[in-house]
Chains A and B, each alone.
Chain A
Amino acid sequence: MSDVHVYTSCNYYYLDRAKVLATSLKRHNPNYTFWLLLTDYPDDVYSHDWSAEPFDKVFWSTDLPVQNVNQWMFKHDVVELCTAVKGPFLEYLLAQGCEKVIYLDPDIAVFDSLGSIERLLDTYSIVLTPHQLEPESKHEVFAIQDNELCSSLHGVFNLGFVAVKNNKQGNQFATWWSDRLQAFCFDEKDKGIFVDQKLCDLAPCYFSELYILRDYGCNVASWNLGHRKIKITDEGTILVKNDTLKFYHFTKLGPIGDIMTERYAKDNVEVYELWAWYKRKVIEFKDERLPKTWYYGYYANGEKVTNEARILYRHRKDLQNYFTDPYSTEKDGGYYQWFLVNA
């Protein structure tokens, strides 16, 4: 039995989903160690009893070995930051000696053993899942836009999943990915950057031991449902085409997710059953006591960090040098005051 570590990354807002992920993973893979990488602040009002939660370990992203972590965090919005931390934390886990590491997005739920992926890491160093496994028909203009062009823009592989072996090439991948995420994890598609994902289009070129997993049961989501009919066998196994459903990516919980799911699931009732289950579970794990705002989206004086302020700071070295902790408003109102007056 390998030493498998699974982690996810989120802030408080996604904690309910992360709990669904953790419980569903442990239910089918009880021997795996589950890590929660939390990019938020241990709130005074809400002091959390983490031992009661379904996570084996909780790691705060401020504890990551990133230089001037506050400055680095400030440059990102919540999605960018929760994504950027994935790289340094992968490096951290490998450095701790974890033999096999799997990252799963918090809005994924697991429905079966991930043994097949675990075994792949005996042969390969990195495993990625493409968004798409089949080309769209030339008549399906919408599907080409939604799925193929969208994948070209955002990245061929969905980085809601990545599996890495703690060997030479696994570590090389982790270092490369982490380095890039520490410098370029932004949503700037016009510059060819889309958080942690677009970069990974290059990964198969760089890493010969990378395996592209073409399992229809992995990372099923609205972007590939058009080619993935789901059914449930008499024995209660959930099948996607002929593969067992291993994990489903419940992306965009809410009306948009519903519309995209409907567009591609059409009459596939089992897909709606999966969603109904997921929605029930998220509600079950909802914790109203949690802070409603993201700690790192605010200055120390309680004012919201605007996108403009964040982006300006991201691009101006001089500001970074002068305001080493941009959250701080102590010295002359800090970067907050400067931006108010000068920008």
Chain B
Amino acid sequence: MNEKTAIQVFGDIKALFHDNKLDDALEMAELALQLFPDEAEGHYLCAEIYRQKGINNDQILGYLSRAYELDSHRIEYIGRLAERCFMEGKLDLAISYYQEILSREPVVWGYIGLGNALEMKGEFNVAALYFQRAVDLNPNRSDALLARLEKIRLKQLNTLIVIDEYKKLISDHLDEGQLFDITKLIALLYAGICETTEAAYFYQKVAELYESLLADYGVENPQIIHPGITQSTREGQYGCIRSVNEEGIRGWFFDMAAEPDAPVALDIFLDNKKLGTVVTDTVDTYVSAIYGVPVRCEFSLKWSDVCLDGQFDFHDKTIKHLLTCQVSGTDQYLLVMADPVTLELLEEWSKYGFIDMSGHISDRYESTAVTDTAEGEEDESVVEPVAGLIADYVVTKIIELDDSLKYQYEKIKDGFDISYYLTKYPEVRKEQVDPIAHYLTVGAAKGFDPNLEFESKYYLDNNHDVKDSGVNPFYHYIVSGRYEGRVYKPFAAAERKTLGTLQTLESRAKHWLSRDRNPLVGKSILSLLLDKFLTDSTSIVLSVSHDNAMSGVGGIQLAIQQELELFNAEGYLYIHLYPKQPLPILDLSETSRTFYYGMSLNGTWVGFVSSDCLVEVFSDYSANYSGDKEWLMLVHSLLGCNVDSLLALHSAFKFNQAYLWLHDYFMICPQYTLLRNDITYCNAPKIDKAGCEICVYHDDRVKHLAQFEILFGTIPFSLIAPSAVAAQIFVDKTTLPYKNVVVSPHRYLEKTLLPVPKAKKHPEIRVAYLGQLVGHKGWFEFEKLAETFGTSGKYKFYVFGVTNPEVKHITHLSVHVSNTDPDAMITALKDNAIDVVVLGSKWPETFCFTAHEALVSGAALVAHKDSGNVVALIQQYECGQIYDNIQQLVAMFSGGAVDQLLEASKAYTYTLKPGVMSACVLENVN
């Protein structure tokens, strides 16, 4: 032995150890220790052998400590040491060793070990955090860990203790992202217990960190002025009002659960009095390790859009006014400016023509905020109204114009919209000056516009010769530019904005990936649950959709809820699955990854379950089952689903029949409304056509169709469409193999001839737009309609929906259809005696609940020619008019078409009957 080197000796010991000759190994190891007392490996091997022998020998810890002391680089030495400390109850030591390990390498076992030690110490919250990291690092073996996490959460102590634990973490070696997450958690927790000062402090930190994170990505941001605190509320929404300056009020907020592309409307309040509403656009998303993908929006309320009308009292100079912000139509979210509104701030606002609107301004403010006119002089200084000025506006202050400007004044005055100018720029109204003179001397330089159409800044930016010459842009346009064909406003602005923000669905999906912390159901629990429901003869429906349909209120969700009742009544077990990770596309990840579904049984949410587990359990069941049963697969939506996992399920379940609903056109293109570049209905050309190629979703479509070919090639689907229109489009456009297509509407309309025609309640014709204010639903045409006929007296215009468009001549009424109030839209339309509903969808609606609701409420329809099932309804029931473009739409309202339509519709009433949608499946089965 003496001749052998340490390495050889230890090799021999390991060989004995692996052959389980533990006594021999121990003898040799103890001898080796004497020969090579300074070799760490010897000490480590002794410890390993004792451990393997199951001897709880105090020496083990000694051996391991010595091994670590001699060679602190080997991670397995310190790992064993940490583990041993934990086993011997030396928790603080164990924790410090695990921290040491993790500072070198973020290993799953390290996080688990640390989590165990912390849990043992009662530090549940921090333990949970480390277990979460272990799960994040290795999601494939997360079942047990997630269950553990949930258990720990139940043990969590009160919020302040939890906050303390998070605070302790801040001293760790965290990267910026982790620090951001933890700080945000602390802020949220403080806000949750109404510790607003503390919350504000941490939100300030969050905001700073966010700026810093953005800066890392090259995004420059102005300095934060005011932090915000969340006073309510739903976890996951927060933000702040960050600046009040000459443009208006600006801020930002996160929504952890928002759809990245959906605009969010925010109401901004001062002392609970509404200043206005802003609609925000997503500006970016930030991938958080803990929360997944929050959507970040920025908002800005311009002073010109603020409506106060004397409702504020500013006499209290010490001020406790609160500037707050709330998601429109909800009460669950509130942002508050943390700093009280100071006197200085109010003075600052006064500069922007803000507080002068109050009409209750204290002495101090009056002197600064109103006009320079000294008292007593006012009456004398009243000048006669400028020709053409609006009736209630009196000019008190003269702007001197030289001859050149007087000449320009004469040239532009016919094209100048004084009413528009005074409405858009309230500071001009406040100054009580001639608006045209104001535009010529001050306004144009500030980028003010002389009317709705002409954009001063745009004109100068795009006509450098005019800009360089210093000529007033509108004057130039009137006397010269218009004859030269110069462009004075951006063309196709909305569409170009859309084009500028397009992203492939696959890249959008990356922002959706999150790591939630919900429990997984394993095989044993799933089997137990199923045993409760299943007998040898139970028939099963396995339904798949994109989200937890049992808690949703959308069309698909309601359809699934109906279906559940129907199948339960027939004695079926209704299993509903949806992808745990929601996505705007199919799950296209590599096949080896475990796929997880959310699951409910007969409407009761069970938890998350892996596809492998489902396959295993149901393979067993189907092997043992008798033949006297029906197993049906019913796919409502494939968003977020994984084709491989569906095929595996299909194979395990041994379905008698598989059905797939055509609620939208996802089977043809993942842009399931078939809007090319989110703008124009594309008619689903073949993928090799240039018209498809230039669409941002072309590559997504190619990938999806490849997946669908596999899916449809294996499962012989029968397809169910909610309308003949949807069925026809699918049949015409698909290249996929399928069994057959049936049409089964969600609802039927019943048209009844009234004994006496309906009497009209209002002299004017009431015209409404329903839902989201988006271009592809015809919002811009409706806006134009209201702009054209808003002052005619013949028509009144309404918007029913969540978002207030804040547009002249349009009345907004907030409507929120929900589970508890499914008829909210019908009621609102009836209550307001709406005569006509304009449905301007530019893509073929597959069903359109809204059109049905409108008809039941008694309104007639005016619809775009491409609106699919809406056009079909109009043709079937003769209940509306169809237009192709804005010119036709305007002509309908200026001519007699709408009057005729209303005359005809007076004679009929409509009722809604439930469709046989799911029954069509049962009929086939039976």
Residues of A within 8 A of B (CB): 27-28, 111-112, 139-143, 232-238, 245, 259, 262-263, 265-270, 272-277, 280
Query: Chain B residues near A275 (CB, 8 Å)?
Result: 499
Contact A238 B691 (CB under 8 A): yes
Given contacts A267-B491, A276-B502, A276-B677, contact A232 B486 (CB under 8 A): no
Cβ contact within 8 Å between A234 and B694: no
Question: Measured between C-beta atoms, what is the minimum distance from A190 to chain B in Å?
Answer: 21
Q: Closest 6 CB pairs between A and B?
A: A236-B685, A236-B689, A236-B691, A234-B683, A277-B694, A276-B499
Q: Which of B483, B690, B696 contacts A280 (CB 8 A)?
A: B696
In the complex, the answer to whether B491 meets A262 with C-beta atoms within 8 Å is yes
Tell whether, in the assembled complex, residue A233 and residue B691 are in contact, meaning their CB atoms are under 8 Å apart.
yes
Contact B694 A273 (CB under 8 A): yes
Q: Is the CB of A276 within 8 A of B680?
A: no
6 A-B residue pairs with CB within 8 Å = A141-B483, A141-B484, A237-B690, A237-B691, A238-B690, A238-B691
B500 at the interface (CB under 8 A from A): yes
Contact for A265 among B491, B679, B685, CB less than 8 A? B491
Contact A235 B483 (CB under 8 A): no
**Is the CB–CB distance between B691 and A232 below 8 Å?**
yes
Cα(A79)–Cα(B490), bound, Å: 31
| In the complex, per-residue mask of B490-521: 1 if CB is within 8 Å of any chain A CB, else 0 | 11100110011010000000000000000000
Q: Quick one: given A234-B685, A245-B690, are A142 and B486 in contact (CB under 8 Å)? A: yes
Question: Chain B: interface secondary structure?
Answer: loop
Cβ–Cβ contact B692 & A236, under 8 A: yes
Q: A236: which of B484, B486, B690 is its contact (CB, 8 Å)?
A: B690
1/0 per residue, CB under 8 A from A, across B433-467: the answer is: 00000000000000000000000000000100000
> Quick one: which of A235, A263, A277 contacts B689, CB cutoff 8 A?
A235
Chain B 657-707 residues near chain A, CB threshold 8 A: 676-677, 679-680, 682-683, 685-686, 689-696
A266 to B491, CA, bound (A): 5
CB distance from B109 to the nearest CB of A (A): 39
Query: B484: which A residues are within 8 A, CB to CB?
Result: 140-142
**In the complex, which residues of chain A have a beta carbon less than 8 angstroms from the beta carbon of B689?**
235-237
**Which residues of chain A are within 8 angstroms of B693 by Cβ–Cβ distance?**
27, 111, 277
For A262, what are the chain B residues with a Cβ–Cβ distance below 8 Å?
Answer: 462, 487, 490-491
B-side contacts of A267, CB under 8 Å: 491-492
Q: A141-B484, A237-B689, A237-B690 are in contact. Are A276 and B492 (CB under 8 A)?
A: no
- B690 contact from A112, A265, A276, Cβ within 8 A: A112
Q: Which of A111, A143, A232, A273: most chain B Cβ within 10 A? A: A273
Say yes or no: B487 contacts A263, CB within 8 Å. Answer: yes
Contact between A232 and B500, CB atoms less than 8 A apart: no
**Closest Cβ–Cβ distance, residue B697 to chain A (whole Å):** 11
On chain A, the residues within 8 Å of B694 by CB distance are: 111, 238, 273-274, 276-277
A60 to B263, CA, bound (A): 52
In contact, B485 and A142 (Cβ under 8 angstroms): yes
Partner of A232, one of B487, B495, B676: B676
Name the one of B485, B676, B682, B690 contacting A140, with C-beta atoms under 8 angstroms.
Answer: B485
- Interface-central residue, A266, A267, A272, by most chain B CB under 10 Å: A272
5 A-B pairs besides A111-B694, A140-B485, A262-B490 with CB distance below 8 A are A27-B693, A142-B485, A235-B685, A276-B500, A276-B677
Query: What mask results when residues 23 to 42 of chain B are scored 1 for a CB within 8 Å of chain A, else 0?
Result: 00000000000000000000
CB neighbours (8 Å) of A245 from chain B are 690
Give Cα distance in the complex from A141 to B492, angstroms.
23
Q: How far is the CB of A46 from chain B (nearest CB, A)?
A: 24
Most buried by A among B486, B685, B690: B690
B residues in contact (CB < 8 Å) with A: 462, 483-487, 490-492, 495-496, 499-500, 502, 676-677, 679-680, 682-683, 685-686, 689-696
How close is B383's CB to chain A, nearest CB, in angstroms? 41
Using CB atoms, name the residue of chain B closest to A259. B462
Contact of B680 among A111, A139, A269, A274 (CB under 8 A): A269
Query: Could you say which residues of chain B place their CB within 8 Å of the CB of A265?
Result: 491
Q: Which residues of B lie under 8 Å from residue A269 when comparing CB positions?
A: 492, 495, 679-680
Chain B nearest CB from A255 CB (Å) reads 10
- Residues on the B chain within 8 Å of A238, using CB: 690-691, 694
Q: Which chain A residues border B499 with CB–CB below 8 Å?
A: 272-273, 275-276
In the bound complex, CA of A305 to CA of B9 (Å): 72
Other-chain residue from A112, A237, A272, A280 in contact with B492 (beta carbon distance below 8 A) = A272
Residues of A within 8 A of B492 (CB): 266-269, 272
A20 to B696: give the CA distance in the assembly, Å. Answer: 15
How far is it, in angstroms, between the C-alpha of A156 and the C-alpha of B682 when the chains are bound? 36
Q: Knowing A273-B677, A280-B696, say if A143 contacts B485 (CB, 8 Å).
A: yes
Least CB distance from A21 to B in Å reads 15
Return chain A residues, CB-CB under 8 Å to B692: 236
Q: Hey, which chain B residues are within 8 Å of A112, CB to CB?
A: 690
Docked pose: A263 CA to B481 CA in angstroms: 13
| Cα(A236)–Cα(B692), bound, Å | 6
Report how far A205 CA is from B679 CA in the complex, Å: 47
CA distance A258 to B485 in the complex (A): 17
Contacts of A277 in B (CB 8 A): 693-696
Q: Give A270 to B677 CA distance when docked, in angstroms.
A: 10
The interface residues of chain A lying within 8 Å CB-to-CB of B682 are 232, 236
CA distance A302 to B338 in the complex (A): 58
B residues in contact with A268, CB < 8 Å: 492
Determine the distance from Cα of A277 to Cα of B698 in the docked complex, in whole angstroms: 10
Most chain B beta carbons < 10 A, residue from A28, A268, A277, A280: A277
Closest chain B residue, CB of each to CB of A239: B691
Q: Which residues of A contact B491 (CB under 8 A)?
A: 262, 265-267
Q: Separation in Å of the A320 CB from the closest CB of chain B?
A: 39
For residue B676, which residues in chain A have a CB less than 8 angstroms away from its CB? 232, 273
Residues of B within 8 Å of A273, CB to CB, are 499, 676-677, 679, 694-695
Chain B residue nearest to A245 (CB atoms) is: B690
Q: Write out the residue numbers on chain B whose beta carbons fall within 8 Å of the beta carbon of A139.
A: 483, 485
Give the CA-CA distance A276 to B499 in the complex, in Å: 6
CB distance from A120 to the nearest CB of B (A): 21
A274 to B679, CA, bound (A): 13
Q: How far is the CB of A328 from chain B (nearest CB, A)?
A: 41
Q: Which residues of B contact A141 (CB under 8 A)?
A: 483-485
How near does chain A come to B729, taking the closest CB pair, in angstroms? Answer: 12
The residues of B that contact A232 with a CB separation of less than 8 Å are 676, 680, 682, 691
CB distance from A341 to the nearest CB of B (A): 39
Q: How far is the CA of A174 from the CA of B572 in the complex (A)?
A: 80
Measured CB to CB, the closest approach of chain B to A199, in angstroms, equals: 31
**Residues of chain B lying within 8 A (CB to CB) of residue A236:** 682-683, 685-686, 689-692
Report the separation of the CA atoms of residues A240 and B79 in the bound assembly, to the nearest whole angstrom: 71
Question: How far does the alpha carbon of A233 sit from the alpha carbon of B679 in the complex, in Å?
Answer: 15
CA distance A184 to B486 in the complex (A): 36
- Complex Cα–Cα for A269 and B496 (A): 8
By a CB distance below 8 angstroms, the chain B residues around A111 are 690, 693-694
Q: Which of B484, B686, B694 has the most CB of A within 10 A?
A: B694
B503 — nearest CB in chain A belongs to which residue? A280
B-chain residues with CB within 8 Å of residue A259 when the two chains form the complex: 462
Name A145's closest neighbour in chain B (CB-CB). B484
Q: Indicate the member of B491, B496, B696 with the most A CB atoms within 10 Å.
A: B491
A277 to B683, CA, bound (A): 19
Shortest distance between the CB of A252 and any CB in chain B (Å): 14
Residues of A within 8 A of B500 (CB): 276
Max chain A Cβ within 10 angstroms of own Cβ: one of B485, B686, B695: B485
| Shortest Cβ gap from B828 to chain A (Å) | 34
Q: Given the complex of chains A and B, what is the CA–CA distance between A274 and B492 in angstroms? A: 14
Closest to A28 in B: B690
Q: Which of B485, B490, B685, B696 contacts A276 (CB 8 A)?
A: B696
- Min CB distance B544 to A, Å, is 31
In the bound complex, what is the Cα–Cα distance between A247 and B496 (angstroms)?
22
Query: Which A residue sits closest to B462, measured CB to CB?
Result: A259
Q: How far is the CA of A265 from the CA of B499 in the complex (A)?
A: 15
A233 to B684 CA separation, bound complex (whole angstroms) = 10
Q: Which residues of chain A are near B490, meaning CB under 8 Å?
A: 262
